Amino acid sequence: MSDLDGTLLNTESRINQTSLDILNRLIQNGMHFTYATARSLSSASVVTAGLQISMPIIAIYL
């Protein structure tokens, strides 16, 4: 599990392409991964676009 802001996201509030590629490859190979954030679900889905996550996430429901 990872936090988004200040951890997984870069200064442009995105997951950099190298990290995205590595995470998606690990997930495809069976690694369990999710994230937690104080962002709303809609805001979190924008900044994690491209992340092929299949587990539940922890986010604010607004």
Per-residue pLDDT of the chain (62 residues; tens, 9 = 90+): 999 999 999 999 999 999 999 999 999 999 999 999 999 999 999 999 999 999 999 998 87
Half-sphere exposure (CA, 13 Å, Cβ side) for 1? 9
Say how far apart CA 32 and CA 39 lie, in whole Å: 21
Half-sphere exposure (CA, 13 Å, Cβ side) for 55? 14
pLDDT at 62: 72
Overall domain count for the chain:
1
- Closest to 20 (Cα-Cα) out of 36, 6, 4: 4
pLDDT at 61: 80
The residue range of the domain holding 45 is 2-60
Q: Quote the pTM value.
A: 0.88
Partnered with residue 2 across adjacent β-strands are 35
pLDDT at 1: 94
Helix (H, G, I), strand (E, B) or coil at 38: strand
